Amino acid sequence: MTATTDGAGALLPRVAEAGHSATAVTEVKEEAAGGAPAAVRAAAERATARATEYLLSRQNEQGWWKGDLETNVTMDAEDLLLREFLGIRDDRTTRAAARWIRSQQRPDGTWATFHGGPGELSATVEAYVALRLAGDAPDEPHMAAASAWVRERGGIAASRVFTRIWLALFGWWKWEDLPEMPPEIMFLPKWMPLNIYDFACWARQTIVPLTVVGAHRPVRPAPFALDELHTDPRRPNPPRPPAPAATWDGFFQRLDKALHAYRRVAVRPLRRAALNAAARWIVERQENDGCWGGIQPPAVYSVIALSLLGYDLDHPVLRAGLESLDRFAVWHEDADGEPVRMIEACQSPVWDTCLATIALADAGLAPDHPALVKAADWMLDEQVLRPGDWSVRRPKLQPGAWAFEFHNDNYPDVDDTAEVVLALLRVRHPDPARVQEAVRRAMRWTVGMRSRNGAWAAFDVDNTSPFPNRLPFCDFGEVIDPPSADVTAHVVEALAVLGKQHDPRARGGIEWLLAEQEECGAWFGRWGVNYVYGTGAVVPALVAAGLPGSHPALRRAVAWLESVQNADGGWGEDLRSYRDADWMGRGASTASQTAWALLALLAAGERDSPAVERGVAWLADTQRPDGSWDEPYFTGTGFPWDFSINYHLYRQVFPLTALGRYLHGEPFAAREV
């Protein structure tokens, strides 16, 4: 949809008045450094006007926003391997995917899992194999550099389990040298450790189909050998060193050996019943659009599993599944005009739409503006009103949440639900009763999803078993869903805006957040990078809930943010902070992370501080002529460190929100619904 120039009310005329000159904005920045808040405000007004117009122009005619969701090349490699396995790989798709994979290779021949990150072994192995499928020869310089690096790091044998599963599908790895996960896990009762509901929803959706794959151990003829990726091709499957027997790792290694032995004696009727149960579970969770959970990895493994169980490619379930996978492809052209194909691991329209609505409203767009009303209508239609997997732990709780994606009724989440509520409350809708009822249902569900410790996780309740992460099978990232500070903060903020900050559930969440503050004054960010994100979520929530800016926890947060502000005035944090505390709050300045820091500082009452003025000036100085910001860095997380995300709309919605709050203050006072 193309926005009209009067769409942003009084804001947009300032665009023509200000123009966009890097020199002019730099002058404003210099004036700001010299103590001219009026100049900073003028720069913020111009940047807000441009950003508002840009964001309005990106709205879909149905009312939603969606930016590209960029992850890493394992998505593209596994998509090609799936098509090779099913016999449906075509030249056009392969060439376009290969162009994207090659474009992401680092100078040392490796592939990273986030922009500017170090080479990662499994990603490099999978990218290399995908390029071999595309016809790249092993002796080409970029391929030889990759294979040499892989061998130096231990070869295929040192890669993650999921990488070796993909290779086992083609005989490049031995199935018997992979950890065992039998389909009989389907029969474990819900109270028993390691039942499927002890795993986070994303892991559960992946593990169930992989139990089918592991039970069948299929091998398709490999189109080429991969000797160059082994440290010793004569001994490609070296045994891994045993863990000490008296440790949990040692126990689970012995358990894995026992499961391998069980495979040889498994009762066939029981195995068949388990496979049938897994098939029913998979089919029952297919969404209306053919996908599973709205995310690509479970869809890929579900398609493979069902094909092994006898579903042919023309079966409605598989046909819909394959069609859904095509919708994860983002096509564009490279500098030579050649088609390039990138695979999204997921799509984020609900999340992007609620964040865009909040940004536009906080930037001063009229609450009854047609763009906001249309966005609200679309979000209201997306509310999930039937039970999903969450109801296993909360069987009596009434549904009413929102999911992250276009179609995902089985796995709505607390984070989206809280933010959609905050977005809807900013809109003056022509049918307020409809909004009120949706918000009531949503908050009833959200409050009911509180875990025992008084906090909230993303998808499930009390999904905190220590055992799933110990399994040798589960080395692909986080496989449980414990409560986090950022999700809990969003719930507390929604409760506070609804006037329920004194509700015992809200107070419990506040107490949990205060207890979770790091010694330095920051909060850990589970779903965004990292301490800047966590702090940017928690501080506004605590202030909304009534904590004064003078509260010691808030003063420590302010001091930490000021201490990690970059010399250029922005904020940034590298993903390495998830593994190395020396990286906390350190990294190249980004638009989204600068905005998160500003949101916290503004909420804490620091509007006129030098840190805020420098941050606002940085946003104004780095804005592009079209009103957007550039941000190659990954500031979102799927699994901390292991799976990183570049949300392409973050660079737009969060800066606009921060600029709007700088200009207009906090969005609104508490209200009863």
Positions annotated as catalytic residues are 415
Instruction: Check if the beta carbon of residue 44 is closer than 8 Å to that of residue 633.
Output: no
Calculate the dihedral angle through the C-alpha atoms of 497, 503, 509, 513, rounding to the nearest 10 degrees.
70
Query: What's the gap between Cα 515 and its chain centre?
Result: 26
How far apart are the C-alpha atoms of 408 and 127, rounded to whole Å? 29
Q: How far, CA to CA in Å, does 537 sit from each of 83, 151, 248?
A: 41, 42, 35
Q: How far, CA to CA in Å, does 661 sit from each of 31, 361, 590?
A: 21, 10, 18
Calculate the dihedral angle through the C-alpha atoms of 146, 152, 158, 159, rounding to the nearest 10 degrees.
-10
CA angle 187, 193, 195 (to 5 degrees): 35
CA max distance for the chain: 79
- Other beta carbons less than 10 A from residue 428's beta carbon: 14
How far apart are the C-alpha atoms of 364 and 9, rounded to whole Å? 8
Instruction: Check if the beta carbon of residue 574 is closer than 8 Å to that of residue 583.
Output: yes
Tokens of residue 308, six digits: 């092994």
How far apart are the C-alpha atoms of 643 and 630, rounded to whole Å? 21
Chain length of the chain? 673
How far apart are the C-alpha atoms of 533 and 595, rounded to whole Å? 9
Phi-psi bin for 412: left (phi > 0), alpha (psi -120 to 50), beta? beta
Calculate the dihedral angle through the C-alpha atoms of 110, 113, 117, 118, rounding to the nearest 10 degrees.
-40
Alpha helices for 154-230 (secondary structure H): 161-168, 201-216
SS3 of residue 388 by DSSP: coil
Q: In the block, which residue shows the tokens 């389907």?
A: 186
